[in-house]
Amino acid sequence: MSLKTETAGTQVGKKFEAICKNLLCGGLAGMVSKSAVAPMDRVKILLQAHSRHHRAHGVFSGFKHVVRREGLLALYK
């Protein structure tokens, strides 16, 4: 009887460990993807707003303009 209880407890522990690993991996993947896409979203929004400061810029020149004018961290606003 105690072998069945130990086996069931071990299985529950393994399932919990797998769930925790999946949550951690999913959280890290979300952080990395959001950090990679944020600068592109910032430039996209600036180009969509059609302000007079960004009217003549394309995507790459928009990146350069934002970094020169406001600094690298401005891409993460």
**What average pLDDT values come out for the chain (77 residues) when binned by 10 residues?**
60 90 97 94 85 74 89 89
Entry pTM: 0.64
Structure tokens at 65: 């303009």
Interatomic CA distance for residues 59 and 57, integer angstroms: 7
75 Cβ contact partners less than 8 Å away, ≥ 6 residues apart: 38, 39, 42, 43, 63, 66, 67
